[in-house]
Structure 1
Amino acid sequence: MKVGFIGLGNVGGKLAGSLLRNGVALHVHDLNPALVARKVEKGAIAAADPAALMQACDVVITCLPSPAACADVFAQMLPHIGPGKVWMEMSTTDADQIKAHAEAAIARGGEAVDCPVSGGCHRADTGNISIYAGCTRPTFEKVLPILTHMGRRILHVGDVGVSSTLKVMTNYLATINLLSLCEALTVMKAAGMDLGVTYEAIAASSGNSFVHETESQLILSGSRDVNFTLDLVQKDVGLFQKLADDHGVPLELSPLMIEMLTDGQRRYGVTAQSDRMIERLEEATGLSITAPGFPTELVDDEPEERGYEVPVRR
């Protein structure tokens, strides 16, 4: 199958790279010509716009930064979706929006897959990230070979829209974990604890998490560059809050998180790296939450392997 990829940013560029690295015939498009040029150098074919990409390819993957960008690109592709065409949405976007887009694609005879990723840019770079796929079972089996080139663990979650709902939830949890780690590390520093020892104590405890094993290292090294910006975090937490509001769930932590993130954006910039949230506490206390021996960038040391479908407990 000819595969198209739209959106070659922090995550999309790495996912597209995994497809190229594994010999997939790939057509690409992005508003940034430099990003397209890098993929063309590695064997991809450039497309003039989303419409041309959908016309040329059997499967088109979109990985875009906002619901508005998703809507704009989909509108350009829709007239060219028909039988034999599959649209795969890998953006973290609004579940209602993606369901409406999927219905429009299916009404024209095409197929749709809602397949956001989770696990960090460093794992997207090695094909070891996790992917949720929402679609019919026949469509899932059709696109599974493509998904297993981009991700290690592939979970078929049910219908279109389910994936986006689950992804927003996981990003909410990751964010609250990041904010709590900022507080934990700062309190330990204030209490005179060695932060290298503190890191290992958390890692060996019931308080450990994926966020600690990744973002805490970047906080402690001082790099604070996790390849995920505050505007994207705000989008995801906002989508989670909207989901709660729509279903009448009175949240207490989520509104506080939005307030804290807004303050971080006001201080460091709308698109500042998310792990710079530690600097709010550094400024408030005068402490430096850093320690020697931690990396300035994350590298996935798992060997790249072909992905597989994760079985669901029934």
Structure 2
Amino acid sequence: MMSALPSLGFAGIGLMGLPMCQRLLAAGYSLTVWNRNPQKCAPLVAAGARQVATAAQLCEHADLVLLCLANTEVVREVVFAQEGIAQGARAGQLLLDLSSLEPTATREMAAALARDTGMTWVDAPVSGGTSGAESGSLAIMVGGEAADVERVRPVLLALGQRVTHMGAVGAGQVSKVCNQMIVACNALVIAEVVALAERSGVDASLIAEALAGGFADSKPLQILAPQMAESRFEPVKWHVRTLLKDLDGAVKFAREQGSATPISGLAAQLMRLHGGQGFLEKDPATLVALYRDPVSAN
């Protein structure tokens, strides 16, 4: 006889969290949700989820508590602040963090949560964007004890097409740092390419098609190059601030490890320059504005 599905709690109903929760409900999981802006939970409640008033209350209804939050500071607050997850956690429960965080902070928080409550931590940052969350095709990089990873693997397979155990707690976040270094630097180079093609009289809308299947091809190229060429910046599928946060985190972590990251360091400064011009909440396709004449960038 098949065992019953574990009950799930979920904190963070944003661009990624909402479609993830919708997939979990569709897979038959019992889902309890919480968000700092409670109104964002409404579509999930309408689909059968239970909503609670505090993050701590997620632990009352869930075997596994999932997080999909903006950054390290927000995760620390949601887990350890008053009425946070640690207030309701108990031994035997597991926290599954899908956010992209600083690896060192992840290891510290995991150790503190286990020591204080007995709740164990698995870090499972994802790659694939909102389209991957909607289709269940995310790539998921996992850090944690082997038994804990196997416990959450069926849940992760409802969200992604590839689940890879990278090592102990924090290893998933290290892998996501590497992922974001490649993605962010790629996005900046794609912006340079599109602007160069435009300045030289080449139809930049053909770049992605022309390079498809070659060594320069990538998912960011196929997604971003057409958007940049067409100045199609809405709807916002992800944010410049997210790439900036991830690049800053990559440079900080590399410094802690004594590893050189000159390209990612430059990318962080270019991303900061772009964000400082009013683009932090905009789609990374707007990076092409860095290289266009001001008149043509609007």
TM (norm. structure 1) is: 0.87
**Aligned partners of 2:96 and 2:121 also within 8 Å:** yes
Aligned to 1:89: 97
1:222 Cα shift? 2.3
Could you say which residue in structure 2 is the equivalent of 1:192? 201
Matched residue, 1:113: 122
Q: Distance in 2 between matches of 1:287 and 1:81?
A: 53
SS of the residue corresponding to residue 5 of structure 1 reads strand
Which range is displaced more, 165-174 or 211-220? Answer: 211-220
Unaligned runs of 5+ in 2: 1-5
Provide the identity percentage.
24
Name the counterpart of 2:177. 168
Distance of 2:232 and 2:169 partners within structure 1: 37
**SS across alignment from 1:170:** helix
Tell me how far apart the structure 1 counterparts of residues 286 and 95 of structure 2 sit (CA, whole Å). Answer: 35
Secondary structure in structure 2 of the residue aligned to 1:282: coil
Give the Cα–Cα distance (whole angstroms) in 2 for the partners of residues 89 and 180 of structure 1: 31
Measured against aligned partners, the alpha-carbon deviations of 1:180-209 in whole angstroms (never above 9, x if no partner) come to 011111112222222233221222321111
2:24 matched residue in structure 1: 19
Specify which of 29, 35, 38 is matched with residue 30 of structure 1.
Answer: 35
Given the alignment of the two structures, is residue 214 of structure 1 paired with residue 219 of structure 2, yes or no?
Answer: no
Q: Counterpart of 2:176 in 1: which secondary structure?
A: helix
2: CA distance, partners of 1:222 / 1:280? 13
Number of residues of Structure 1 aligned to a counterpart in Structure 2: 288
Q: Which residue of 2 aligns with 1:274?
A: 284
Once the two structures are TM-superposed, the CA of residue 247 in structure 1 deviates from its matched residue by 2.1
Per mean C-alpha deviation after superposition, the further-off stretch among 100-109 and 32-41 is: 100-109
Q: Which amino acid aligns with 2:266?
A: L
Q: Which residue of 1 aligns with 2:163?
A: 154
State the shift of 1:288 in Å.
6.8
1:122 paired to 2:138:
no
Q: Deviations over 1:146-201 (max 9, x none)?
A: 11111111111111100011101111110100110111111122222222332212
Q: Unaligned 5+ residue runs, structure 1?
A: 290-314
Distance 1:58 1:46 in 2: 16
Counterpart for residue 3 of structure 2: none
Q: Secondary structure at the match of 1:79?
A: helix
Partner residue in 2 for 1:49:
54
Q: Is the 8 A contact 1:190 1:287 kept in 2?
A: no
2:61 aligned partner, one-letter code: A
Hey, what's the Cα distance between the residues in 1 that align with 2:212 and 2:218? 7
- In the alignment, is the contact (CA less than 8 A) between 2:244 and 2:271 conserved in 1? yes
Give secondary structure in 2 for the equivalent of 1:184.
helix
Give, as a single letter, the amino acid of the residue that structure 2 aligns with 1:39.
Answer: L
CA drift of 1:74 comes to 0.8
Distance in 2, Cα, partners of 1:219 & 1:63: 28
The DSSP-based 3-state class of the residue aligned with 2:293 is helix
CA distance in 1, matches of 2:241, 2:203: 32
| In 1: Cα distance, 2:244 partner to 2:40 partner | 25
Contact 2:194 2:229 survives alignment (8 Å): no
Residue 141 of structure 1 aligns to a residue whose secondary structure is helix
Higher relative contact order (CA closer than 8 Å, sequence separation 6+): 1
Provide the C-alpha distance between the structure 2 equivalents of 1:97 and 1:73, rounded to a whole number of angstroms.
14
Give the aligned partner of residue 229 of structure 1.
239
Per-residue deviation at 1:287? 5.0
Which of 222, 247, 251 is equivalent to 2:257?
A: 247
Q: Deviations over 1:102-130 (max 9, x none)?
A: 11232332221100100111111111111
Look up the SS of the partner of 1:125 in the other structure. Answer: helix
Name the SS of the counterpart of 2:282 in structure 1.
coil
Native 8 Å contact 2:93 2:119 kept in 1: yes
Aligned to 2:166, the other structure's residue is in SS state: strand
- Distance in 2 between residues matched to 1:203 and 1:71, nearest whole Å: 41
2:70 is the counterpart of 1:61: no
How far residue 217 of structure 1 moved from its aligned partner, in angstroms, is 2.6
The residue number in structure 2 matching 1:183 is: 192
Alignment check: 8 A CA contact 2:205 2:230 kept: no
Q: Which amino acid aligns with 2:250?
A: F
